[in-house]
Structure 1
Amino acid sequence: MKLSSLLFFIIAQILLFTACQPKNTAFKSENPLPVEFGDPYILKASDGIYYMIGTGGVEDGFKMYSSVDLKDWKDEGRIYQGNTDSSWGIANFWAPEMYEIDGKYYLLFSADWRENPTNELENFRIGVAVSDKPTGPYADLYNRPIFDPGYPVIDGNLLFENEKVYLYYSRCCYKNPVESEVADWARQQGMFDEIEESWVYGVEMEPDFSGVIGEPELLLHPPVSMNDKQAEWESRSVTSGEVNRRWTEGSYIFKKKDTYYMMYSANFFGGKNYAVGYATSKSPLGPFEKAANNPVLEKNVEKGGIVTGTGHNMVTTAPNGKDILCVYHGRTEKTGENRVVFIDRMEVLDDGTLVVHGPTTKYDSEKSE
């Protein structure tokens, strides 16, 4: 074979091999996923598999789905059983998160605490369970919550940095009436006598989950003034007459360059106005400043879409190793009151602005074809 022919053959083979390789294309999800979870959380584990947990699916505990591509999901069944004779949690098992630490897997979650001498209607605390395998079964690490702040708390989220662990959580609205211009307005309208609020706190935690270090810091709360740029979207559950509560919950923190981004949800999780915003800080314990482009994720029915109740998100990366993904729950006309999982691309722009490209649905893709 002549040299020129050999060179041509080699080049042709290289081009053919390259063409046959999977392209590093942008991730695209066919929302909603066939998973009825609220508060979804996905761990991309060291084995390369995605493990998804959330609120719902089983009574008194949690179940799991797994996937290698975030599209086809395997039902792994129940991974944690609560409300046993020995468990500290007895009801309302909510908002689980998973963390892989030194070959073990930790399940952080909220539940009603068995210890309730004053018979509180909401007695939520945050605890942790552990397993040697991502698929469980998980057993309580301690027969008690991580700590007791003296009020009900939910939606635990962790940040690991510089050999320290930070716990973020939401104080429940329960028995937390707050005076504000929105509360004054609601009374003047004859809608509600008081407005209860939930607030996001942060505190350093013992690395072994045995307790907290120091006092919790208040990081986020609903706006006090109706002139605040965040007041309109964060107060919709009240101003629409839906309920006498304003929420700041479902926080999820991550760091980009030297900035901490805390995403959070506002409004009633069971209603159409549930939405996501974010705040930024130069320190893991604040102060945090809410973003001007909030909300970054909300219902789209006013724009011709079919999605409502978008919220309680987390962030993961796509199988292509490139795209950042926002994982959250929402509802559609077809799913009704059932919360289902959505995954949409998100990005942090060069100027630091966070953008979520959603909510999207398979229906949107079909319309554009």
Structure 2
Amino acid sequence: MIKSISVMVALLALVAGCRQPSKKETKQAEITYSNPIDVAFGDPYILDNGDGTYYMYGTGGGAKDGFATYSSEDLINWEFEGQVYTGNTDSSWNEKWFWAPEVYKRGEKYYLFFSAQWKENPTNEEENFMIGVAESDSPTGPFIDLFDRPIFNPGYPIIDANVFVDDDGTNYLYYSRACWKHPVQSEVADWAKAKGWYDEVEESWVYGVELKSDFSGVVGEPVLLLRPPISMDDQQAEWESRSVTSQEINRRWTEGSFLFKKNGIYYIMYSANYYAGKNYAVGYATGSSPLGPFTKAANNPVLQKNVDQGGDVTGTGHNMVLFAADSTEMYCVYHGRTTQSGQERVVFIDPMRIEEDGTLVVDGPTTDAQPLPFTKK
């Protein structure tokens, strides 16, 4: 009997030694990560579901005529959950070019804000983008259009919706007016025309407006918040004009805005330059109210290509900010390109912080090993 027990103990020990580590144990063993994350999204947005699970949404990522999502418990290892919204149907208001989704949890419901081409296009405009909202009982969908129309029509094409709820419960919608048929006079435009490069330079501008609590429309008129500099001696002009000065294209962008409040200050981050080019970069501005006025920061851009410093990353932009549950830590989530990814956009997650003087700093782009998000002590 003693010999039998000894053999059994030995077998149990052998089985235990051969046991595969659990998913939780594997994650605990991963003490570092490196960018890019293994998700090919443009315009990434991460929802903290509040139950230990995160959901990432973005442009592309395996979705056809809509959006897909990935889930994760550690922000590094992501599992594809499938398509969560499908447009371009007989009943949808949209038909193509599904961009920049953001999902917000309100009570037990989830709301997907996104950009797409509006079917209602009597003058056959090439860019007829509008912003819509869809609703679901689950972060993995299916999301169904809340209305059979865009949220509102300001009279020009718009993209890149971002929603902010202020301390008093008021909702605000931020978006970018598309460059389409929006030529703007500026010293940069005059300079480019004098060189024989472009007859005109189109621009996109960021606006903000109060949003109705049921998301059915807006309150009042949109307010212009951010635009490219008019003067070439403006300290922001060099980095915000690189698409033109490098002869990439005759457009200057101000898009991909994301607003948050920290220490009583409203921060609005935004992307500039050609979204498909190497010069795409991120800056920010600050203000004392959700609708500004906003002042662009002296340390812009806070996120840009690093190939000039021997790195491997270009096209960094369209970011969002992910906060720890207690708001003590914050991360910048954005897309970029590497030599390996080519023109495919991939996701980066890098630490960011607000200095004591209110200066915003992003520690990126990085591709080297660093601690897992929200694990620093």
The reply to whether TM is greater than 0.5 is: yes
Q: Of 135, 141, 144, which residue of structure 1 is paired with 2:146? A: 141
Query: Gapped runs of 5+ residues in structure 1?
Result: 1-23
Q: Deviations over 1:246-272 (max 9, x none)?
A: 000000000001100000000000000
* Aligned residue in 1 for 2:87: 82
Q: Deviations over 1:296-344 (max 9, x none)?
A: 0000000010000000000003589742100000000000000000000
Q: Of 302, 305, 330, which residue of structure 1 is paired with 2:308? A: 302
Mapping for residues 191-230 of structure 1, pairs under 5 Å: 191-230=197-236
* Aligned residue in 2 for 1:314: 320
- The separation in 2 between residues aligned to 1:29 and 1:326, in whole angstroms, is 15
- The letter for the 2-side match of 1:306 is D
Mapping for residues 1-369 of structure 1, pairs under 5 Å: 29-57=33-61, 58-161=63-166, 162-318=168-324, 322-362=328-368
Query: Gapped runs of 5+ residues in structure 2?
Result: 1-27, 372-377
Q: Deviations over 1:1-32 (max 9, x none)?
A: xxxxxxxxxxxxxxxxxxxxxxx9xx954100
- The letter for the 2-side match of 1:114 is K
Q: TM-score, normalised by structure 1?
A: 0.90
Give the secondary-structure state (helix, strand or coil) at the position aligned to 1:238. Answer: helix
User: What is the Cα deviation at residue 138 of structure 1?
Assistant: 0.5
- The separation in 2 between residues aligned to 1:321 and 1:267, in whole angstroms, is 30
- The letter for the 1-side match of 2:248 is E
Summarize the Cα distance change of 1:251–1:29 in structure 2 as closer, same or farther, 3 Å threshold: farther
Summarize the Cα distance change of 1:222–1:321 in structure 2 as closer, same or farther, 3 Å threshold: closer
User: What is the Cα deviation at residue 363 of structure 1?
Assistant: 7.5
User: What is the Cα deviation at residue 45 of structure 1?
Assistant: 1.1
- The separation in 2 between residues aligned to 1:134 and 1:144, in whole angstroms, is 22
Q: Determine if contact 1:99/1:105 at 8 Å carries over to the other structure.
A: yes
- The separation in 2 between residues aligned to 1:163 and 1:349, in whole angstroms, is 27
Q: Determine if contact 2:55/2:71 at 8 Å carries over to the other structure.
A: yes
- The separation in 2 between residues aligned to 1:150 and 1:53, in whole angstroms, is 28
Instruction: Please tell me the root mean square deviation across aligned C-alpha atoms, in Å.
Output: 1.6
Q: Determine if contact 2:32/2:369 at 8 Å carries over to the other structure.
A: no
Summarize the Cα distance change of 1:300–1:320 in structure 2 as closer, same or farther, 3 Å threshold: farther
Q: Deviations over 1:80-128 (max 9, x none)?
A: 0110000011100000001000110000000000100010000000000
Q: Determine if contact 1:32/1:362 at 8 Å carries over to the other structure.
A: no
Summarize the Cα distance change of 1:84–1:301 in structure 2 as closer, same or farther, 3 Å threshold: same
- The separation in 2 between residues aligned to 1:174 and 1:240, in whole angstroms, is 20
- The separation in 2 between residues aligned to 1:186 and 1:320, in whole angstroms, is 48
* Aligned residue in 2 for 1:20: none
Give identity over the alignment, percent.
Answer: 66
- The separation in 2 between residues aligned to 1:282 and 1:299, in whole angstroms, is 30
Summarize the Cα distance change of 1:313–1:28 in structure 2 as closer, same or farther, 3 Å threshold: farther
Give the secondary-structure state (helix, strand or coil) at the position aligned to 1:260. Answer: strand
Q: Deviations over 1:214-263 (max 9, x none)?
A: 00000000000000000000000000000000000000000001100000
- The letter for the 2-side match of 1:271 is G
User: What is the Cα deviation at residue 132 of structure 1?
Assistant: 0.3
Q: TM-score, normalised by structure 2?
A: 0.88
* Aligned residue in 1 for 2:21: none
- The letter for the 2-side match of 1:151 is Y
Greater than 2 Å deviation, 4+ residue runs = 317-323, 362-365
Q: Determine if contact 1:39/1:313 at 8 Å carries over to the other structure.
A: yes
Give the secondary-structure state (helix, strand or coil) at the position aligned to 1:184. Answer: helix
- The letter for the 2-side match of 1:69 is D
Q: Deviations over 1:200-225 (max 9, x none)?
A: 00000101110000000000000000
* Aligned residue in 2 for 1:8: none
* Aligned residue in 2 for 1:10: none
* Aligned residue in 2 for 1:4: none
- The separation in 2 between residues aligned to 1:358 and 1:155, in whole angstroms, is 23
